[in-house]
Structure 1
Amino acid sequence: MIGRRPSPLRDEQGQVTLLIVGFASILLMAIVTLIDASAAYLQRQGLDNLADGAALYGADLGSAGVYEQGLDAPRLTQQEAAVEAAVRAYLTKAGAEGKYPGIEVGVRVDPVNRSVTVRLEAPLHLPLTIPGSPSNPKVTASSTAAVTVQPTGG
């Protein structure tokens, strides 16, 4: 018994299988996370573009006071009702409800800065779900626009 070496054939069956299953589950979670993050990013970018267009359209069509007040300031004043109607019309033309079911729209007119801010919020539809993730995530976007007056050189 003296000088006896341990047997080189130890029973390690199942160890490699456990490692493969562990790495596969980590890889699967990483893929699901990447797919969901990409989908969320694309939906937010689309909502951002929609908010930008709605704010510009609302600021342009909601401008007022040019004929009554003249061009006394670098920005035109905004009529709140006209801005709201223009933003809603733009979103209808763009098919916002079809692209983002359940979209919520907020329009704010800032009389001091003479600007229009449009805030959009919609439910986030992810292709895959991760256990423990929020059940009803939402994505929001906002944009601010104003009509500026540029003097012409002449």
Structure 2
Amino acid sequence: MTPRARDDRGSATPLIIGFALLLAMTVAFVIDASAAFLHRQGLDTLADGAALFGAEAGAEGTEVYTGGLDSHALAQTRAQAEIGVRDYLTQVGAYREFPALWFEVAVRDDRVVVRVSAPVDLPLTVPGGPEAPMISATGAALVNPE
């Protein structure tokens, strides 16, 4: 039996295709991550503005007229804060910029907390990744007359 001569011939095509696919998936991931980050930055701005507007609208103000301002924080109502947040989001055109935008308002002691969420339309789709993930941001405003 004669030993076969071993040669180094072969195809580099599978290796090149594999690296090209890996590079394409990495590029898609970076582009999608950048789009999601920019989307969240926009939502951060909305959440902060909405919290300030909601805190201002959420203060009932009745104690200001009856007793004036002292060192105590203004009483907040969730319903009034929600109205203020909704008005703010409408005024700045948030529903046009972020379709399917929704928000939550919570009043905790002397603080109004607003959480806004919206789906992000990713420019590229990574196999196995979500097609329209939800991005959220939270903003808070403190109501204290001092």
Give the TM-score, by structure 1 length.
0.82
Distance in 1, matches of 2:66 and 2:23, equals 65
Matched, 1:93 2:91: yes
Q: Which runs of 5+ in 1 are unaligned?
A: none
Matched, 1:141 2:133: no
Give deviations 1:13-68, integer Å, cap 9, x for gaps.
Answer: 31x22221111111110000000000011101110110000001111232222222
3-state SS of paired residue (2:113): strand
Provide the residue aligned with 1:36 in structure 2.
32
Q: 2:48 aligns with which of 52, 60, 84?
A: 52
| Superposition CA RMSD, Å | 2.3
Give deviations 1:81-119, integer Å, cap 9, x for gaps.
Answer: 322211111000111111110111111222xx2211111
> 2:93 corresponds to which letter in structure 1?
G
1:114-153 alignment runs, 5 A limit: 114-150=110-146
Kindly report structure 1 stretches of 4+ aligned residues shifted beyond 3 Å: none
Distance in 1, matches of 2:113 and 2:69, equals 22
Q: 1:20 aligns with which of 13, 16, 23?
A: 16
Q: 2:64 aligns with which of 54, 66, 69?
A: 66
Percent identical pairs in the alignment equals: 47
Distance in 1, matches of 2:33 and 2:9, equals 39
Give the TM-score, by structure 2 length.
0.86
C-alpha displacement at 1:74, in angstroms?
A: 4.3
Provide the residue aligned with 1:83 in structure 2.
81
Distance in 1, matches of 2:35 and 2:91, equals 24
Q: Which runs of 5+ in 2 are unaligned?
A: none
Aligned length: 144
Distance in 2, matches of 1:66 and 1:28, equals 61
Asked which structure has the greater CA Rg, the reply is 1
Distance in 1, matches of 2:126 and 2:89, equals 32
